[in-house]
Amino acid sequence: MSGKNRQMAVKQVRGPFLRLAPHPQACQGDAALGEWVRQWRAENPGSLLGADLFSGAGGLSLGLRQAGIEVVLAVDHDVEAVETHGHHFPGLTVGWDLGDPGVVERVARIVRECGIDILAGGPPCQPFSKAGRSKIRDRVRRGLRDPRDQRRDLWRSFLEIVSLARPRAVVMENVPDMVLDREMFILRSAVLELEQLGYAVEERVVQTRRYGVPQFRHRLILVAVLPPHRFTWPAETPEQVTFGLATSDLPRVEGGWRPEGGAQGWQDYPGAKTTFQRRMRAGVPEAEQDRLYDHITRPVREDDVLAFELMDSDTRYSDLPQEFKRYRDDIFDDKYKRLDANKSSRTITAHIAKDGYWYIHPEQNRTITVREAARLQTFPDWYRFAGPPSAAFRQIGNAVPPLLGQAIGEGLTSALSSSADRPQSSEATAHSLAQWFNQLTDLRLPWLRATTRWQVLSAEFLLDRVTANSAHSLWPLLERWTDPGQTLAHREELQTIAGWIQRGDRAHEITAMAEWLVGAGRSEPNEDTLDEMVAAKIIPPAYADIARLIIACTDDVSGEEPVIINKGVLRVAANFTGEAVNARNRLTDGRIAVARMIGYGNDARSAHLALMEISNTCCQSSTPDCGACPLSADCAFARTSKISDPGAPAPRTARHGELPPGRSLSGFEAESSPELG
């Protein structure tokens, strides 16, 4: 194929541009909403009302409505999304900026005065500087709120509205990656603040496919309810919906096809074939049963049609013949992706508004249509999207799938209609752990009480996976050398000590690390130095995080507390929660479970160290000793284990030498090491 053909332009097809009228029961202003709510309450006693902040096109709002919760207030800053939401929902839908403190106070007043029961939303969570995290953490821990006269980050605005309005329940959703960073800063601080406000909080990374959504899509969902209520996660759907089951009833179309009649034009609809398709058609007006709206997509270049023809669902962009490639395949090896009719779709994102090549139809040589994207997000066929097709794609990609919203809504309606015991808060669990740890006089991992990061790194290199007796005998010798210079001054003694446990090679590694630090002029590794050491492969990332956790760097304003996940800590979390977080989604479910146990208050650091000590002492996989564990009263494993019968011995401090070989902080089962004489 010639270069001329490869540069062939796509025929431009603009529109159609859809305009949507406001809902017949739309309210104009706060006072009108208040009057409408009073009338609604009178006509629907006992009903639940909701507000959706950062509402977008209304996916979460629709799901809540399908669960019996009427959303009467929605706020977003996307003009077309506001028009879409305002067309489908009664009440007040506004395009306000929730970064404005005045708007925050106004929204909180509306929620409070209208008696709105459920406040929901998906605030964007932007990365923070270490200084910013430190400032927010300090204010949250002291029970303070952000100053009202400053613009704030949008997730902080959401929590500020909660604190001012105190709704009965809160739902916060987001992309997992935005809150599951190394420190889990946003999630942990949000949980702490909500608990300080009196809410019982549950959070989970949800795979939407397990709730009937025909795509692989993970969302972080946080639900908080005021006592005496408690949220329980809804049961998952046993049957999973594939692309074919979701869309096989939709007629064939060519890329770039547009119906006559512009935005109000339609395609003939032949009829539903599957349960899911019938669900998507439910609610379509009788006069429109034979019509399908928005089944349109982008035009396709002639050379792309040929490329698509060569692809199946396993073909990567890098597999295509060179003449079909317009992008570097070493960077964009998955630039084109044909979906599989027999599997769930890949995640529909807002990026589809700019580039549909990730979403090539399984059988037709085109990218998916607006209606197909809406189906994959579980928007019913009667739901329309304001603006041009690009705006519709963007709104769909940004939305919460309504079926997921419905599942969460049904869990909320159940929770708010019954009473339940309040679960122990993260703060309370962390306090119990920290109190236990701070009273210990004999640690299985004695370097948990090191005074410098150099001591931590030295111990991790030399003493990980050694027996308890070896650790306790050798730690006092390593502890004497608080900086790399002192270790270098005693390198021969270090080599002798390492030889006692056949770890001379480890002594060489410690010496090389010390020489690197001295050469860099760093007596105590700070945050940047630790990152440099990891980049240079002088230390593994896990060692850097352990050093950060045990010793807060004095020249770093953040006091960063990374959430460290290893086999031992995950085992403790799994036993405590009664869920297999150590085997399923370790980097999501496991991290959340550990974060819930250590909280984000003043006890967090000591609580995390306590989990490490517990995993190496009383919560060993082969010899659990629930009677010695500070978590036994609230631990799911202890409640069901014969070990924790009413006659179990009182908690005690485990002493070294009593247990089988331990684990490293970063790691895994202990190796066999000779004891010192």
Q: What integer pLDDT is reported at residue 145 of this predicted model?
A: 56
The structure's pTM equals 0.86
Is the pLDDT assigned to residue 13 strictly greater than 70?
Answer: no
- Are 295 and 433 in a shared domain? no
Give the DSSP letter of residue 28.
Answer: -
- The candidate with the shortest Cα–Cα distance to 569, out of 543, 534, 593, is 593
325 touches 227 (CB < 8 A):
no
In a domain, 393, yes or no: no
Give, to the nearest 10 degrees, the angle between helix 30-43 and helix 101-113.
20
The H-assigned helical ranges of 168-247 are 176-179, 185-196, 243-247
Residue whose structure tokens are 């190394």: 182
In a domain, 516, yes or no: yes
Strand-pairing partners, residue 75, are 53, 94
Tell me which residues are annotated as active site: 125
Instruction: Supply the range of the domain harboring residue 638.
Output: 427-644
**Which residues, other chains included, contact 454 with Cβ-Cβ below 8 Å and sequence gap of 6+?**
481, 482, 483, 484, 487, 514, 517, 523, 524, 525
Who wins on pLDDT, 237 or 116? Answer: 116
In a domain, 172, yes or no: yes
Q: What integer pLDDT is reported at residue 556 of this predicted model?
A: 46
- Are 254 and 236 in a shared domain? no
**Residues 21-32, mean pLDDT to the nearest whole number:** 96
Q: What integer pLDDT is reported at residue 149 of this predicted model?
A: 38
- Are 320 and 273 in a shared domain? yes
Is the pLDDT assigned to residue 580 strictly greater than 70?
Answer: yes
Question: Alpha-carbon distance 474 to 674, whole Å?
Answer: 12
Question: Alpha-carbon distance 100 to 22, whole Å?
Answer: 25
Is the pLDDT assigned to residue 672 strictly greater than 50?
Answer: no
Rg of the chain's alpha carbons, rounded to an integer? 29
pLDDT band at 138 (very low <50, low <70, confident <90, very high): low
Question: Alpha-carbon distance 226 to 469, whole Å?
Answer: 49
Q: What integer pLDDT is reported at residue 561 of this predicted model?
A: 82
Question: Alpha-carbon distance 208 to 212, whole Å?
Answer: 7
In a domain, 655, yes or no: no
- Are 85 and 217 in a shared domain? yes
- Token readout for 358 is 């990730």
- Are 314 and 357 in a shared domain? yes
* Residue after which a domain boundary falls, among 422, 449, 483: 422
- Are 258 and 230 in a shared domain? no
In a domain, 136, yes or no: yes
- Are 483 and 415 in a shared domain? no
**Which residues, other chains included, contact 318 with Cβ-Cβ below 8 Å and sequence gap of 6+?**
329, 330, 333
Question: Alpha-carbon distance 506 to 465, whole Å?
Answer: 13
Question: Alpha-carbon distance 552 to 453, whole Å?
Answer: 9
Question: Alpha-carbon distance 311 to 302, whole Å?
Answer: 15
SS3 category, 292: strand
- Are 500 and 609 in a shared domain? yes
pLDDT band at 441 (very low <50, low <70, confident <90, very high): confident
In a domain, 649, yes or no: no
Q: What integer pLDDT is reported at residue 151 of this predicted model?
A: 47
- Are 366 and 434 in a shared domain? no
**Helix and strand numbers, DSSP H then E, in the chain:** 27, 9
Give the DSSP letter of residue 49.
Answer: E
Is the pLDDT assigned to residue 663 strictly greater than 50?
Answer: no
* Residue after which a domain boundary falls, among 367, 393, 422: 422
Overall number of domains in the chain: 3
- Are 431 and 480 in a shared domain? yes
Q: What is the DSSP string of 28-70?
A: -SHHHHHHHHHHHHHHSTT-EEEEEET-TTSHHHHHHHHTTEE
The residue count of the chain comes to 677
Q: What integer pLDDT is reported at residue 639 of this predicted model?
A: 84
Residue whose structure tokens are 């074939």: 273
CATH assignment of the domain containing 281 = 3.90.120.10
388 touches 17 (CB < 8 A):
yes
pLDDT, the chain, mean: 87
SS3 category, 473: helix
The H-assigned helical ranges of 589-631 are 591-598, 604-616
Question: Alpha-carbon distance 450 to 330, whole Å?
Answer: 46
In a domain, 677, yes or no: no
For residue 451, the number of C-alpha atoms closer than 13 Å in the C-beta half-sphere is 7
Task: Output b/e per residue, 333-371; b: 16+ Cβ within 10 A.
Answer: eebbbbbbbebbbbbbbeebbeebbbbbbbebbbbbbbb
* Residue after which a domain boundary falls, among 364, 395, 422: 422
Is the pLDDT assigned to residue 330 strictly greater than 80?
Answer: no
In a domain, 396, yes or no: no
Q: What integer pLDDT is reported at residue 654 of this predicted model?
A: 35
**Residues 491-513, mean pLDDT to the nearest whole number:** 95
Per-residue model confidence as pLDDT tens digits over 618-636: 888 777 888 889 999 889 8
Report whether the peptide linkage leading into residue 259 is cis, meaning its omega lies within 30 degrees of zero: no
Is the pLDDT assigned to residue 426 strictly greater than 50?
Answer: yes
- Are 433 and 566 in a shared domain? yes
- Are 257 and 204 in a shared domain? no
pLDDT band at 2 (very low <50, low <70, confident <90, very high): very low
- Token readout for 181 is 């960073």
276 touches 28 (CB < 8 A):
no
Task: Output b/e per residue, 110-148; b: 16+ Cβ within 10 A.
Answer: bbeebebbbbbbbbebeebeeeebbebbebbbeeeebee
CATH assignment of the domain containing 136 = 3.40.50.150
Per-residue model confidence as pLDDT tens digits over 170-210: 999 988 876 777 888 889 999 999 999 999 999 999 999 99
- Token readout for 151 is 């613009």
